[in-house]
Amino acid sequence: MNDVAITRSEGLLTIRLARTQKKNALTAAMYEAMLDAFETAAHDPEIGAIVLRGDDGMFTAGNDIADFIAAAQAPGEMAAMRFVEALAMVETPLVAAIDGVAVGIGATLMLHCDLVYASPDARFRMPFVDLGLVPEAGSSLLLPQRVGMARASEILLLGEAFDAAEAHRLGLVNAVVPAEKLYAHAQERAAALAQKPRGALNATRRLLRGDRGDLRAQMHLETEAFAKALQSGEAQKAFMAFMTRSKV
């Protein structure tokens, strides 16, 4: 689809978010396209790594709010929930290149990538509480593990933005790279992964991640809480306020 461009080259599968006129806000169709890309990578032995990126100085503003409003009628069927479940279990190495805003899933997906590179203009935010929602993608478990409970509480409860330098200091990104070099750098690092002995690389990834049971259990709890929150008056009020601001 036009909003997600999937390309293959020299052992890499690149997923480029291309709905820049809407700040790459993710729709159900975009999630489906990315899920298909994950499936392609899983069944093609020629693909050694996946690159996730945006375009034109934009990563993603998170889930499209209009989709959230529609999904409130049947939250259990949300493509977004299937996407985060698949993201957490992808066996192919994942490399992210983040320029501009990375909101919601745009920020939490970092926790599932093997390598993350950001431009100095990258800005991260996890505003779930502000939207009357709860964290997703296992972030309520993985973020405290990565940055400590105190900082994770600030990020998830206050929902305030932080920049690329802070993300690097916290260990959420591997390096801050000039914007004009960002995508080429991410492709080069992904190519380096793709050229490694495949069995040893995949075994090492599994060892680094450990038992996925706790993560699956936490994501199940998040999904239940998210579905409940999505139908709450708090969330509906927050969504309508957002849509009103967007039309101004």
Residue 21 lies in a domain: yes
Measured CA to CA in angstroms, residue 223 lies from 195, 227, 228 at distances of 36, 6, 9
pLDDT of residue 241: 83
Residue 188 lies in a domain: no
Residue 193 lies in a domain: no
Average confidence (pLDDT) per 10 residues, the chain, 248 residues:
90 97 94 97 96 95 85 71 95 98 97 98 97 96 98 98 98 98 98 97 96 95 93 87 67
pLDDT of residue 247: 56
Residue 232 lies in a domain: no
pLDDT of residue 76: 58
Residue 43 lies in a domain: yes
Say how many domains are in the chain. 1
Helices (H), 109-163: 139-147, 149-153
CATH assignment at residue 28? 3.90.226.10
Structural domain that includes position 46: 4-180
Residue 62 lies in a domain: yes
- Give DSSP secondary structure letters for 49-88: EEEEE-BTTB-B--B-HHHHHHHTTSGGG-HHHHHHHHHH
pLDDT of residue 149: 98
Residue 32 lies in a domain: yes
Residue 56 lies in a domain: yes
pLDDT of residue 240: 83
Q: What are 100-118's pLDDT values in tens digits?
A: 999 999 999 999 999 999 9
